[in-house]
Amino acid sequence: MTAKTRRGSWLVTLPLAVLAVGYLVLFYVPGRRAISRATDQVEKHRQVLDQSTGLLTAIHVAQQETGKADRFVSQWEANCPPTAELSQLYGEIYALAEAAEVRVTQFDPEAIVRGERIVKIPLKMGCRGRFEQVFAFLASLEGIAYEVWITELRMERGMEDREDILCELGLVVFAGNSGNSDYVEQTD
């Protein structure tokens, strides 16, 4: 019986060993690899989700800033005088100088720079008066309907009259680009 038992145990053990090796080769090892790949993918997706949280915040902030910019542009376009009214602007600047009792010594509009929606009009201007008068004139420039930036400002004491101030200004005036202004066509 011992020989029969040995032979019988080999008949049971050998097929079980083959089944175990087959299970390892065909199911367990490939399953572990698949699980490992799936775990790696889950970790990558988790990292993407962690990064996307920051991106969502950045997108939300960018949308808010874009909304503010759109509101500003809409408000500016609604209140911006067209370039066809440039002669009125120049008259208004002269009137402000006269109201401040400042003598205009130079008034040179330069070639305009056209954009898609706005026109940038550089202007060189010189004036003479007492400091209080020049200051009043500069302050009054801020109240006109156009957007005016002072890009250069140079003041010096007058040689003949020590109370007078000589002022040279570089201004940039922004206006709406209507596209049908005679002024725009002449300077292009």
Query: How much is the pTM?
Result: 0.54
174, 90: one domain: yes
pLDDT of residue 183: 44
71, 99: one domain: no
How many C-beta atoms lie closer than 10 Å to residue 89's C-beta? 20
pLDDT of residue 188: 41
Instruction: Specify the CATH number for the domain of residue 142.
Output: 3.30.70.60
CB 171 within 8 A of CB 126: no
142, 67: one domain: no
121: part of which helix (H) or strand (E)?
A: strand 118-130
61, 152: one domain: no
What's the domain count of the chain? 2
Domain of residue 91: give its range: 83-187
Which of the listed residues 62, 79, 96 is the one where a domain comes to its end? Answer: 79
114, 70: one domain: no
Which of the listed residues 79, 105, 136 is the one where a domain comes to its end? Answer: 79
48, 110: one domain: no
Q: Would you write out the chain's pLDDT as a tens digit for each of its 188 residues?
A: 455 555 667 777 888 888 888 888 888 888 888 889 989 999 998 888 887 777 888 888 999 999 998 888 777 677 666 666 777 888 888 899 999 999 999 998 888 788 777 788 898 999 999 999 999 999 998 888 777 888 999 999 877 766 788 999 999 888 777 654 444 444 44
pLDDT of residue 157: 86
90, 183: one domain: yes
Q: Is the dihedral of CA 13, 14, 16, 21 positive or negative?
A: positive
CB 137 within 8 A of CB 97: yes
Cα separation, 111 vs 125, whole angstroms = 14
Residues 6+ apart with CB under 8 A from 170: 122, 123, 124, 125, 150, 151, 152, 153
52, 131: one domain: no
Cα separation, 140 vs 100, whole angstroms = 9
pLDDT of residue 132: 92
108, 152: one domain: yes
95, 166: one domain: yes
pLDDT of residue 65: 94
